[in-house]
Amino acid sequence: MTQINKIDSAELYIIRIPLVSPFETSLKKITHKEVLILKLNSGDYSGWGECAADTDPFYYYETIKTALYTTENFLLPILFDTKKIKLEDIQYLFSIIRGHNMAKAMVENAMLDLISKKKEKPLYRLIGGTHKNIMSGISIGIKDNINDLLKLIAESIQKKYHRIKLKINKRNDIELLNNIRKEFPNTSIMVDANGDYSLNDLEHLKQFDKFNLMMIEQPFEYNDFYKHSLLQKELKTPVCLDESINCLNDAITAIKLKSCKIINIKQGRLGGLLNTKTILEYCSKNNIDTWSGGMLETGIGRAFNLHLQTLFGFTLPGDTSETSRYFHEDIVSEPVVLNKDGFIKLPEGNGIGVKIIQKTIDIYKVFYKKLKNN
């Protein structure tokens, strides 16, 4: 078993990249993506990780600043003090720290990238995946103009995206879906509410059944399994849980209570690829559909999500879309593109398989710090 004998140093970056167009959900609207990135150095090898946290605690309690603090003051000291880090140890290395899954995922993923490069194999092989092209899915934010939205959907269909996700809120959802289904009656569409509804909206939500949706994602608050179970009993449309699922115990609770029929597997929210694999296996054994969610990642985070989707158990198209949908330029040299059938080619090479463009990182960085392991 390949091991890392010592982490020589760690480099932390925060970059701020403009989006091609504003992205709006029921929680907020953004024009730039701010990202925390980690580079771990060991001898001649380096591993990269990306944190899924936002600048604010609206989607999740972690933020870029809390993740930076936790990484610098707790996670990296554990790494620096650990001799002979083995693959089988990584999942438990940070278990002494409660929560902070997004910070943990960034560090764990950087370690996986580092180990797979040292073993001279692609990441998907290190985690037990099977080489294949990956299904694509696009997430479209809330638009003020219905014609703009219909145009984006038409463009997505032409690109052969396997699934279209629409961000919604309860102000104009039914009218919106009526317009969409008139124009695109058979397109695979799901909606994501980011917790904008409550059980008081039950009769309203029942109307969603007439639109033949793949699912409604996270209709209620993140911490309410019981009310989601009441909703799923009343809906034919599958309920998908996202923010509610932060660990294996959450998945077990949701499945036992029948709170959902689908789970959004976001490795950044679940503490990294190894914890995610455990949850994915549990869902598969219990016949729960799953897909890989995204957080508007750069090419580093997208590469991890692509390798993750080589694992057995993913049954639905994920959130992985073309790089050009969100960024004018990326920090890796291999942008995500769709082939003629809407699939995405897995990055080639060892580790995550993409080359980092340091020059682009330096252009957009707003913070940098290097920590040496003395």
Angle (nearest 5°) at CA 217 between 216 and 221: 120
For residue 144, the model assigns a pLDDT of 81
Give the pLDDT confidence score for residue 350 in this predicted structure.
96
At residue 2, the pLDDT reads 63
Say what the pLDDT of residue 143 is. Answer: 84
- Catalytic residue set: 167, 266
Q: What percent of the chain has pLDDT over 70?
A: 99
- What does the pLDDT look like over 243-297, one tens digit per residue? 999 999 999 999 999 999 999 999 999 999 999 999 999 999 999 999 999 988 9
CATH number of this structure's domain 138-325, picked from the four choices 3.40.109.10, 3.20.20.120, 2.40.110.10, 3.40.50.300: 3.20.20.120
CATH code at 3-121+357-372: 3.30.390.10
Low-confidence ranges of the chain (pLDDT < 50): none
Residue 2: Cβ-neighbour burial (10 angstroms; 0-12, 13-18, 19+):
middle
> Cα angle at 203 between 199 and 209, to 5 degrees?
110
- Please state the φ and ψ torsions of residue 266, each to the nearest 5 degrees: -105, 110
What is the distance between the alpha carbons of residues 113 and 116, in angstroms, rounded to a whole number? 5
Asked if residues 367 and 5 have their Cβ atoms less than 8 Å apart, the reply is no
**CATH 3.20.20.120 spans which residues of the chain?**
138-325
Residue ranges of the chain assigned to CATH 3.30.390.10: 3-121+357-372
36: its two tokens: 């925390």
